[in-house]
Structure 1
Amino acid sequence: MENKVRVLHVSSPLTWRGGEQQIAYLLKGLKEAHPEIESLVVCPEGSVMEAYLTKHDNQHHSYTKRSGLSPSYIFGVLKSIKSYKPNIIHIHDAHAHTAVVIAHLIIGSKIPIILHRRVDFHLKSAFFSRYKYEYKHIQKVICISNAIKTIVSESNIDKDKLELIYSGVDPNRLINTGADIRKELGLDKDKVLIGNIAAIADHKDYFAFIKVIKELRIKNPKIAGLIIGDGPQRNEIENFVKKENLEEHIHFLGYRADANSLIFDLDLFLMPSKTEGLGT
């Protein structure tokens, strides 16, 4: 135990998106290639991440998180820093970033921090939003694309701290398990399925997705749209589908753990995102 390098990973989403999958890859890779590194993950109670970590026997602490900036979660992070005594803290998202910096300040910690930046949203101008990027104990900021590296450079952070490391993909996860989405939804076998697998959020631009499906159906009425994922904009997008009279032709599947298999049932993958962290 004394010879181990202890890394505290901090993740705040309740749902599972690309960033959470990258954490899963990282934990697996560290365990297989670097047995000298020990990992513990802090995540919200009831999150998909908590379920994943439990299933795969990964060390974790889970705390209540009721909002984006949840005091109970911040003090949970603080508790884990004090009890686990990590050599490195690895932050994986914006709310985790806020929680770690506040906890770090409260206890006067000097533990080095690594920040992972996976989204290409521009940094907010508010004082604390800027401060947390320029926080002196952040040793490295991992940017998953040049676009993100450029955006983070807008802050006063030391540019030498920025590291470009692309996100990985495990092709072995793309296995056709024989899922039959047409049968599941009661669709004809000759239906042409056009789908997207992504969170239902503004930057994914599902309004454009729906408009494309509507336009294509004029030429080919056998086309149906599949929205695989969930998110804060779901009700708004469902209402837009109703407004366009497409309820019978666009199907919401919600979050699916077998999404990597469902992709084999699609005839066309349509990703109309306004921005993508790795695709810009």
Structure 2
Amino acid sequence: MSDAHQALGLEYRRRVQALSEPMRVVVVNQSGGLYGIERMLLALLPALQDRGVRVTFLALCRAEDEGGALGRLLRERGIPVHFVPISRFVGLAPLRRMVATLRACDPQVIHVHGYKAATAIGLARLFWRRPVLATVHSESVSSTDMRAAMLAETTFCKRFERVIAVSQGVARDLEQRGIPSDRLAIIQNGIVDRFAPCAADLLSARDPTRIVVVGRLVAVKRFAAAIQSVAALVRQGRRCTLQIVGDGPLRPELERLVKELGVSDQVRFAGFVDDVTPFLAEASIFAMPSATEGAPIALIEAMAAGCAIVASRVGGIPDIVRDEVDGLLIEPAHEGDLPRALERLLVDESLRHRLAASARRRFLEEFEVQRMTARYLEAYTAMGAGDA
């Protein structure tokens, strides 16, 4: 038998063996805490494992750091986890450790989330190559203070085999950044339905005056607008309370605003929590007045929880919530939109219930974790995972 025929025979046997073995995927992320991307990965990775994928998580941080929480939780759920800390500028030593870890895992596909992971894996491919799928969770406009980071992410995403946008808005942004359309697809985020026992009652057993916002306390989330709206409603004689779930650099400033506006009895800061489920289950209204968003997990969680929603008409939010059907969409630039929308929901019980019920149905149809998982499995297969 010629060398060429022997090589073809070996290649055939390798492909047959690959088809009979579980798909091997390494998911990479550098986390700063349990926020939207992390909650999405907490849903996706166990679901992939349940589908027979041999999935491993590579955390680009130390296990004991705040960002290590995601890796620690995944490890508790039976997902193999490796921690390889990298700094803002990826040095040669951590790069070598990352490449060694990837070689040991021998993935057929590397799946990256976030610009830091995209940059790190893009550099690692200079030494060791595997097909890469990158999920981009936000538009570049949300990172105007990180132009160098966005440039690096764009440069490497142009070279990756597949790029996934979490919304139409993110997809348009990626096309404008030069990502080839034939390598670009949209997969909407999904979560595990943890709300089934509490969502069926919708709002009937909840405090109709309770509003909740969830997220990192940064300017783009516009939580100051939520506080000002509640203060305006209170001055008009409306009964309402605001629960702010999350932490961040603007907390002292927001706490001062609450005192200045005289609404300390109506506004409460819960701080950062690992699980927002109880807060959403108790709230009647969920507000997201953000200046920009990708496909926010907190919004999807609010839909699953059966909250009546007020959200900005920005980024991927209109892909998720249909105005006057699943929630009320507002223009963040129009100061009066948010208090007017909140007032509509506070005074109109039938509207609250109708929007909440529709949001819950839409979640089950479009944003439950199994739908997202199936789409990612299709993407891995389309990349030729069995051929790696």
The 5-angstrom pairing of residues 1-280 of structure 1 reads: 3-33=21-51, 35=52, 37-43=53-59, 44=61, 45=63, 46=65, 47-64=68-85, 68-69=88-89, 71=91, 74=95, 76-105=97-126, 107=127, 109-122=128-141, 129-135=150-156, 137-176=159-198, 192-220=209-237, 222-278=239-295, 279-280=317-318
Q: Distance in 2 between matches of 1:151 and 1:78?
A: 30
Residue 87 of structure 1: how far off its partner (Å): 1.6
Residue 253 of structure 1: how far off its partner (Å): 0.7
Specify the code of the residue in structure 2 equivalent to 1:247.
S
User: C-alpha deviations, 1:156-192, integer Å up to 9, x for none?
Assistant: 2221111011112333445449xxxxxxxxxxx9793
Q: Distance in 2 between matches of 1:74 and 1:201?
A: 31
Residue 31 of structure 1: how far off its partner (Å): 1.5
Q: Counterpart of 1:185? A: none
Q: Distance in 2 between matches of 1:48 and 1:73?
A: 20
- Pick closer, same or farther for the CA change 1:157–1:84 going to 2, 3 Å: same
Q: Which has the larger radius of gyration?
A: 2
Compute the TM-score of the two structures, normalised by the length of structure 2: 0.61
Specify the code of the residue in structure 2 equivalent to 1:91.
V
Instruction: Flag the structure with higher helix content.
Output: 2
Q: Distance in 1 between matches of 2:218 and 2:94?
A: 24
Q: Alpha carbon RMSD of aligned pairs, Å?
A: 2.9
- Pick closer, same or farther for the CA change 1:69–1:49 going to 2, 3 Å: farther
Q: Matched residue pairs, number?
A: 264
Any gaps of 5 or more consecutive residues in structure 2? 1-16, 200-205, 296-316, 319-388
- Mean CA deviation greater in 225-234 or 165-174: 165-174
Any gaps of 5 or more consecutive residues in structure 1? 178-188
Q: Counterpart of 2:9? A: none
Q: Distance in 1 between matches of 2:161 and 2:54?
A: 19
Instruction: Flag the structure with higher strand content.
Output: 1
Task: Judge conservation of contact 2:227–2:258 (CA < 8 Å) in 1.
Answer: yes
Residue 194 of structure 1: how far off its partner (Å): 1.4
Task: Judge conservation of contact 2:195–2:281 (CA < 8 Å) in 1.
Answer: no
Residue 223 of structure 1: how far off its partner (Å): 2.3
| Identity of matched residues, % | 21
State the secondary structure of the residue aligned to 1:99. Answer: helix
Task: Judge conservation of contact 1:116–1:141 (CA < 8 Å) in 2.
Answer: yes
Specify the code of the residue in structure 2 equivalent to 1:121.
S
Q: Counterpart of 2:312? A: none
Structure 1 residue ranges (4+ consecutive) displaced by more than 6 angstroms after TM superposition: none
Task: Judge conservation of contact 2:194–2:277 (CA < 8 Å) in 1.
Answer: no
Residue 56 of structure 1: how far off its partner (Å): 0.8
